[in-house]
Amino acid sequence: MRVRYGRNNKGKLIRQAEIYSLDEHNISRDRIDRDARKIISRLHSVGYEAYVVGGAVRDLLLDRTPKDFDIATDATPNQIKRVFRNSRIIGRRFRLVHIYFANDKIIEVATFRALDSGERDEQIFGTVEEDALRRDFSLNALFYDPDNEEILDFVGGVKDIRKKVLKSVIPLDQTFEEDPVRMIRAVKYSVGTESRIPFRLRRRIRKSAPLLHQCSVSRMSEELFKILQSGTATSCFSKFRELNLFETVLPQYSVLMDERGQEYENLFFSDMEALDRQVADGEKRRSHMLALLLDSYLNETGAFEKGRQTSFKEVIKRSKGALKPLIAPNREVDEAVKSILRKRKIWNNQKTTKSRNRRRKGKPTIATQVGG
């Protein structure tokens, strides 16, 4: 392993990063997306730094196939756009470049961020080291150069992955104040990589859990759907309970668990185990995942009580209330509820067809009734 040195603001020589060669990390350039390699080689050829970054490097070190190959560079968005005609700058406050290829393929290229880029309205560009120190966890702060087949590591991420420990790059008294969603991501990465969360990080998450109330609902929804689709929902939600996050992530379910005790908690996690098995078998429909999340909750809260007549619209309303603050598209909630009602044999397809026909003719519709 080689060491990269730099100088501090007093001119003193300091250790900056560890550089891992091919025989130390075993990631061949052949495992990198071909178009991503072309982008990096092109940027190198015109004098810029460029690396595959983040989750792709982490997954390759874990011998997994990455979903995406994001790239980071010292070229600014305008400079990147001048190099690649098949590109477009996106974003306002934080500008990125999307480079387009055949079959709707997009590779995202970002410019290195400065250390203080999160504290100002305008985007501040920085060095590769500053960009590493702006990332959330050490396992996501690695830079891979496919031309030289080297990993550049400023934060000890390679060793943390090998030791299976999750470490925050940003100081603990700052990271969740800056972005509360990182607590959800901490759980997701811990479970997904089978990494332990050290005591100080666990304590900080428990203390910072209420900050999730302040974060963007759309971002939180995005992270929760990733968990439902991950095949590790059972373990993630269990860790949410342990770290005081569950009551903010799924507050209605938390209330029901507190009211009904262990019986409903066991039922909830049984449903999540079923979801994980189905995801492992290839299930990808969000509506199906929502159905598994909603079915027992709706039943436990009396939506399907025998003799009760409840309109389809009311079940939809109950479902959306149960999911808050999670936001799901109306179409997916509708399909989830229909799936639940079919499973319980209280959904009448003929009534649905008649309702559609009446709607087309401009006639009033009769709400589909569910009940015993």
Encode pLDDT of 215-245 as tens digits: 888 999 999 999 999 999 999 999 999 999 9
Q: How confident is the model at residue 41 (pLDDT cuts 50, 70, 90)?
A: very high
Q: How confident is the model at residue 350 (pLDDT cuts 50, 70, 90)?
A: very low
Would you call 153 a catalytic residue per the annotation?
no
When computed from its CA atoms, the radius of gyration of the chain, rounded to whole angstroms, is 24
Q: Count of domains in the chain?
A: 3
Give residue-wise pLDDT tens across range 202-217: 999 999 999 999 888 8
- On whether both 315 and 343 belong to a single domain, the answer is yes
Residues 250, 134: Cα–Cα separation, whole Å: 29
Give residue-wise pLDDT tens across range 142-155: 999 999 999 999 99
- On whether both 147 and 15 belong to a single domain, the answer is yes
- On whether both 159 and 21 belong to a single domain, the answer is yes
For the four alpha carbons of 102, 103, 107 and 108, in that order, the dihedral sign comes to positive
- On whether both 6 and 153 belong to a single domain, the answer is yes
**Residue where a domain stops, chosen among 228, 255, 284:** 284
* Catalytic position from the list 33, 59, 70, 295: 70
Please give the pLDDT value at position 367.
41
* Catalytic position from the list 136, 153, 160, 271: 136
Please give the pLDDT value at position 254.
96
In terms of Cα–Cα distance, which of 181, 130, 129 is closest to 18? Answer: 129
99 pairs with which residues across the strands? 87, 107
- On whether both 182 and 138 belong to a single domain, the answer is no
Please say if the pLDDT value at position 371 is more than 70: no
- On whether both 327 and 229 belong to a single domain, the answer is no
Would you call 281 a catalytic residue per the annotation?
no
**Residue where a domain stops, chosen among 262, 284, 306:** 284
- On whether both 13 and 143 belong to a single domain, the answer is yes
Q: How confident is the model at residue 303 (pLDDT cuts 50, 70, 90)?
A: confident
Give residue-wise pLDDT tens across range 95-125: 999 999 999 999 999 999 998 765 445 678 9
Would you call 68 a catalytic residue per the annotation?
yes
Indicate the length of the chain as a whole number.
372
CATH of residue 175's domain is 1.10.3090.10
- On whether both 299 and 346 belong to a single domain, the answer is yes
pTM exceeds 0.75, yes or no? yes
Give the HSE-up count for residue 26: Cα atoms under 13 Å, Cβ half-sphere. Answer: 5
CATH of residue 14's domain is 3.30.460.10
- On whether both 143 and 10 belong to a single domain, the answer is yes
- On whether both 25 and 157 belong to a single domain, the answer is yes
- On whether both 237 and 327 belong to a single domain, the answer is no
- On whether both 3 and 112 belong to a single domain, the answer is yes
Domain of residue 359, residue span: 291-372
Please give the pLDDT value at position 177.
94
**Residue where a domain stops, chosen among 255, 284, 313:** 284
Tokens of 169: 């790059």
